[in-house]
Amino acid sequence: MSISSSANDRKKIAVTRAKKVGTITPITLSERSITGFALIRIFVGYLWFQQLFWKMPPEFAGLYSYIIRESQHTIIPGYGYILQHTFLSGCTSLLTATGCTLYVPLAAGVWIAELIVSISLMFGLFTRIGAILGSVLAIQLYVGLAYTDWIWTYGMLVLLCLALTAIPSGRRLGFDQWLAPRLQTAAHSKRLARFVSWFA
């Protein structure tokens, strides 16, 4: 009897806890807040967009000095070594990418990734993919360059992109407003749509 009673007590406590947990009010962003966030998203996308123009293809010349700086000032041990023996292998100059066989493919990858981030964020098109990719790129910049500039420069860029990852800001002033309801409807029957719908 006592065992049963104590089991009942435990149940009651569990239910009370669950109720307490259940009382956490879900946060709903107001129309103004999400629209404001969408504007921030557009400006962050434009930030990435502008940075395409000082490292334009086919040479991507502007990027070279930054890769060199990253290889010299990175905060992660071994990161500089990897850069020097992969992407910068064969390079004969600190000023130009002469002799670097793998520099152009690396720079093209960076440029295309930044283009994807900027288009995704500016147009609110699968915004969270753009924001995640932006976070990765910004973390890479932080690792390589944070101690050569004002350290918060890249830290803030990481945090901005993480904030845009957390909030689906493309659902206002963006294509995600059109995409999200469709993907959510399809998500009931298709697993892939369920996965993809989180990114819109």
Taking CB under 8 A as the rule, does residue 126 contact other proteins? no
Taking CB under 8 A as the rule, does residue 122 contact other proteins? yes
Burial bucket for residue 77 (CB in 10 Å: 0-12, 13-18, 19+): exposed
Stretch that binds other proteins, among 5-13, 92-100, 117-125, 187-195 (CB under 8 A): 117-125
- Residues within window 42-71 making contact with other proteins, judged by CB under 8 A: 42-43, 46-47, 49-50, 52-54, 56
Query: Would you say 87 and 71 are in contact if contact means Cβ atoms under 8 Å apart?
Result: no
Reduced to 3 states, what is the DSSP secondary structure of residue 104? helix
Taking CB under 8 A as the rule, does residue 108 contact other proteins? no
Query: Would you say 124 and 161 are in contact if contact means Cβ atoms under 8 Å apart?
Result: no
Nearer to other proteins, 74 or 118 (CB): 118
* Alpha carbon distance 155, 12 (integer Å): 47
* Alpha carbon distance 136, 132 (integer Å): 6
Q: Which of 29, 40, 102, 119 binds other proteins (CB under 8 A)?
A: 119
* Alpha carbon distance 184, 200 (integer Å): 10
- Residues within window 144-183 making contact with other proteins, judged by CB under 8 A: 171-175, 177-178, 181-182
Taking CB under 8 A as the rule, does residue 33 contact other proteins? no
Taking CB under 8 A as the rule, does residue 84 contact other proteins? no
CB of 172 to other proteins, least distance (A): 7
In terms of DSSP H, where are the helices of the chain? 2-22, 31-50, 61-73, 79-85, 103-123, 127-145, 152-166, 176-187, 191-197
CB of 36 to other proteins, least distance (A): 12
CB of 45 to other proteins, least distance (A): 9
Question: What is the binding site for other proteins (CB under 8 A)?
Answer: 31, 35, 39, 42-43, 46-47, 49-50, 52-54, 56, 118-119, 122-123, 171-175, 177-178, 181-182, 184-185
